[in-house]
Amino acid sequence: MRSLRPHTLRARLTLGLLVLLAVSCAAVGLAAVVELNGFLTSRLDEQLTEAGNRFAVSLEHKGEPQKDDHDGDERADTRRQATGTFGARLMNGTVTNAAVVRSAGTLNVGLTADDRKRLAAVPADGRGHSIGLSALDDYRVIATRGLDRDVLITGMPLEPVEAAVHRLELVSAIVFGAALTAAGVAGALWVRWSLRPLSRVAATATRVSELPLASGEVALPPRAPESDPRGEVGRVAGAFNRMLGHVEDALTKRHASEERLRSFAADASHELRTPVASVRGHAELALLHPGPLPPEITRALQRIAAESTRMGAMVDDLLLLARLDAGRPLEAAPVDLTRLVLDALTDARATGSGHRWELDLPEDPVTVTGDAHRLQQVLANLLSNARLHTPAGTKVTVTLETDGSTASLKVHDDGPGIPEDIQPGVFERFTRADRSTKAETGGAGLGLSIVAAVVEAHGGSVTVESEPGSTTFTVRIGKA
């Protein structure tokens, strides 16, 4: 069940304002009702005191009632008695006579046993007391002692007081309801107007949170408009804008540093290609010398040629990354991914005969749009990575499958896995699982970064899941 509590600050402030106003209105209304009821009741007591017990006294020696209880008694004194005045005489706690003044005279009242008990319970202290009579509704009565050791009770109906109080309650409910409605609308508008700068700060923060800040040049949205800096909202807006300024400066400097680094890598790689090729050529030429060479010289020349070849491959990788960083488009043509997988696995079996290679392909060929040469490089790097970083006898399974408009390529091995501290940066450049620099363990750590860059250039994604005994690289690319 969803909570009914408002979630926005604007709604909470408006609700809080309405609750406080409702409590205030209820307190004012309750005080007014209590005060009016007390005032009218005290006025009624004054009227009873002024009227005295003349009507009740006239009932002391009243004769037997007429045949009909509704007949008036000519001996009852109704002078200066308002219509509805009640009188009763009690002797030894028992009601002997009870009547009420009507416009045509007096009317004897038929009292129930409960009514008689209530009348007998009224103290003869000359003060007003409220009682309820089943035949006459609610009355305000005063009891005094008569000359014949009896108790005389005079009362007046509470109906006018209750009617006035109920009318005040109705009017208060209508007025306070209208006031609450108007205050709610006005308060909501006022709170909304007051929180406009904060809403703009929130909107700006939302736009910033949606920006790709990980890399590249980032254009931050316009700053949030600032209001009075003496207020809390103004201080928040000012602090947020200053923070955005610092973030923008940091992103600009980072982007400039990245551009300088990419330019340096591209220029250095380009400049290194010629001397590396020259060193390799001279080493190979020296090895072709017809004369005898000392074994140590031959071994040195072979190492020079091998390292030159390795350095040339590294330079080519750096140039490729520099081109991809620069956003140079790749070839976009239909590529038979099934054929590329078959060729890559054939090459892997030839170079890694100590591993067990398995293949799982769908029945129909899988075609994607992209650069066949670069996708072949992705497959070669993934299989080479599995071969170089797992011991002999490891089973490597390549799976190609489709899911709607996406082709999914998985390279799984049951080797020792990737160390947990390496996994977050496994696709970053120069990341090496074994931290060594030996050529036999697999280059300078650019293979997986090239995989990630090429796949992203194709609009796809690459992920890794690894634990001891199971490592899976998954490449997803849109189908043609």
Joined tokens for residue 420: 């947990």
Whether residues 219 and 314 fall in one domain: yes
Indicate which CATH number applies to the domain containing 311.
Answer: 1.10.287
pLDDT at 76: 56
324 shares a domain with 338: no
Residue 137 counted as domain residue: yes
What is the per-residue pLDDT for 61? 57
Residue 352 in any domain: the answer is yes
Whole-angstrom distance, CA of residue 229 vs CA of residue 49: 68
Show pLDDT as tens, one digit a residue, over the chain (480 residues).
455 566 677 788 888 888 888 898 889 989 999 999 889 988 988 888 877 777 777 776 554 443 334 444 445 555 567 788 888 888 888 888 888 887 766 677 788 888 888 888 889 888 888 888 887 888 889 988 887 788 888 888 888 888 999 999 999 899 988 988 898 888 888 888 877 777 777 777 777 777 777 666 667 777 776 666 777 777 777 787 888 778 878 878 877 777 776 676 666 666 677 787 888 787 888 888 777 778 888 888 888 888 888 787 777 777 777 777 766 778 889 999 999 999 999 999 998 889 999 999 998 889 999 989 889 999 999 999 899 889 999 999 999 998 888 999 999 999 999 988 888 888 887 776 655 444 455 456 788 888 988 898 888 999 999 999 999 999 999 886
**382 and 413 together in one domain:** yes
Q: In the 3-class helix/strand/coil scheme, how is 49-68 assigned residue by residue?
A: HHHCCHHHHCCCCCCCCCCC
Same domain membership, residue 190 and residue 42:
yes
Shared domain for 3 and 83, answered yes or no, is: no
Instruction: Please indicate, yes or no, if residue 115 is contained in any of the structural domains.
Output: yes
pLDDT of residue 6: 66
Residues 393 and 467 in one domain: yes
Residues 304 and 219 in one domain: yes
Task: Indicate whether 352 and 453 sit together in one domain.
Answer: yes
- CA-based torsion, 437, 439, 444, 445: positive or negative: negative
pTM: 0.49
Say if residue 468 is in the same domain as residue 384: yes
Asked which of 275, 306, 328 is the last residue of a domain, the reply is 328
In whole angstroms, give the CA distance from residue 356 to residue 345. 11
Structural domain ending residue among the three candidates 328, 347, 381: 328
419 in any annotated domain? yes
Tokens 């005080």 appear where?
Answer: 31
* Domain presence at residue 206: no
* Together in a domain, 295 and 423: no
The answer to whether position 395 is within a domain reads yes
Residue 38 — φ and ψ, nearest 5°? -65, -40
Secondary structure of 462-479 in HEC code, one letter for each residue: EEEEEECCEEEEEEEEEE
Looking at the fold, whether 182 and 80 belong to one and the same domain comes out as: no
Structural domain ending residue among the three candidates 328, 361, 389: 328
Q: What's the pLDDT score for residue 174?
A: 92
Q: Which domain CATH number covers 83?
A: 3.30.450
Give the separation between CA 153 and CA 124, rounded to whole angstroms: 8
What sign results for the dihedral spanned by CA atoms 136, 138, 144, 149?
Answer: positive
| CA–CA gap between residue 157 and residue 143 (Å, rounded) | 15
Does 205 map to a domain?
no
In a domain, 199, yes or no: no
Segments forming the whole domain that contains residue 250: 212-328
174: left (phi over 0), alpha (psi -120 to 50) or beta: alpha
Domain count, the chain: 4
In this structure, are 436 and 454 located in the same domain? Answer: yes
